[in-house]
Amino acid sequence: MAKVLMKGNEVIAEAAVQANCKYYFGYPITPQSELVAYMAKRLPEVGGLFLQAESEVAAINMVYGAAAAGVRVMTSSSSPGISLKQEGISYMVGSELPAVVVNVVRGGPGLGTIQPAQSDYFQAVKGGGHGDYQIPVLAPATLQEIVDLMQDAFDIADKYRTPVYLLGDGMLGQMMEPVEFKERPAIELPEKDWAATGTRGDGGPRIVNSLRLDPADLEEHNNHLQAKYKKILENEVRYENYMTDDADYILVAYGTVSRIAKNALQKARSKGIKVGMIRPISLWPFPEKAFHETRDKVKGYLTVEMSAGQMVEDVRLCVEGHAPVHFYGRTGGMVPSQEEILKKIVEMAGGEL
């Protein structure tokens, strides 16, 4: 297929359709409304269903029902709406239901702003709703990477019976870039022999449920979830190492910020500072190995985020004091500039601009 020029939010939607997702339930919110509108037009073309819910609460529960009935399904929103979905996501985890939840993050807290942010990192990677759980989180940096990761997101959801987040930001949602939708062979996935489909002769009744009143029973279920997370940690880590081989300093950034950081990195290199970058693509599971391999070789890390410092906590947990970990962030919808990042790199290297 040839390259087409598309807007980020539309790419997210089309990538889901290409990943064979035919069902979408959602509620409008900026900056991801184009995604909702695209689905409304597109899904009927593939014999699927788009339904505008009365709220994000209803939308995630419709997703819960559709997933319980065994279909590939997704929802999307932006930060305030994702907060409303947390109860439903926790129930999906408890009932082990697969779905993809897209968060096109905007600045908070509260109604905040419609400008891009990365301030929902904690919510995404540290659980978010109630209970002991993790959600796999994929964070694309380009529109092409959205296409490539969307299929993975659905496959991970089905393989491990878990909701999966695709985390973007307002910039990614609104930008336009050429993308190519490549045909990908489907991977082998477990049969959904647990789904409540009301099918005659399937050996039912089947029950989809997250209630376990007996604490011993619930502990066993939690142990089962934790064992699943261990497998995800082993198999689903994704990251990019960029010019880290000879690096004295390493930038850490994900999503759109990593693109700005890359430009700053080139400028720093032209000044003779050997900088590399670790770009986590899966935010959970976090790419621990990338840090274990570099932490005794480098003089320091600089984490750059559109937040007051969230991912930097995970970086510190991985570096474990082997090297200094610096932070630079802008918040509230402000985007860090190349120049600001460069200044921080030079400072870290003990020099002056």
Partner 1 sequence: MEIVFEKTKGLTDTPTHYCPGCTHGIIHRLVAEVLEEMDVLEDAVGVASVGCSVLSYEYFNTDMVQAAHGRAPAVATGIKRVLPNNRIVYTYQGDGDLASIGMAEIVHAAARGEKITVIFVNNAIYGMTGGQMAPTSLLGQKTATSPFGRDINVQGAPIRISELLSTLDGAAYIERVSSHDVPNIIKAKKAIRKAFETQKQGLGFSLVEILSTCPTNWGLDPNESLDWVKEAMVPVYPLGVYKDITKEEK
Interface residues toward partner 1, by CB under 8 A: 23, 25, 49, 51, 53-55, 57-59, 61-69, 71, 73, 87-88, 91, 95, 196-201, 204-211
SS3 116: strand
Q: How far is the CB of 311 from partner 1 (least distance, A)?
A: 30
Task: Count other C-beta atoms under 10 Å from residue 324's C-beta.
Answer: 14
Comparison of 43 and 146: residue with beta carbon closer to partner 1: 43
Please answer whether residues 291 and 315 qualify as being in contact, where contact means their C-beta atoms are separated by less than 8 angstroms: yes
Rank residues 45 and 246 by Cβ distance to partner 1 and give the closer one.
45
Q: Report the nearest approach of partner 1 to the CB of residue 160 (Å).
A: 20
Residue whose entry in the numeric block shows the structure tokens 């002991």: 132
Residue 297: what are its φ and ψ, rounded to 5°? -105, -25
Residues 6+ apart with CB under 8 A from 234: none
Burial status of residue 132 (CB atoms within 10 A of its CB: 0-12, 13-18, 19 or more): exposed
Tokens coding 76: 């999307």
> Do 162 and 236 touch, CB atoms closer than 8 A?
no
Which residue's CB is nearer to partner 1, number 40 or number 57?
57
The H-or-E segment that residue 192 falls in is none
CB of 211 to partner 1, least distance (A): 6
Q: Which is nearer to partner 1, 53 or 334 (CB)?
A: 53
Residue among 91 and 242 whose Cβ is closer to partner 1? 91
Residue 56, token pair as written in the block:
């994000």
Least distance from partner 1 to the Cβ atom of residue 209, Å: 4
| Least Cβ distance, residue 50 to partner 1 (angstroms) | 10
In the complex, what is the shortest distance from the CB of residue 55 to partner 1, in angstroms, rounded to a whole number?
A: 6
- Which one, 75 or 119, has the nearer CB to partner 1? 75
Report residue 279 as tokens. 């770009």
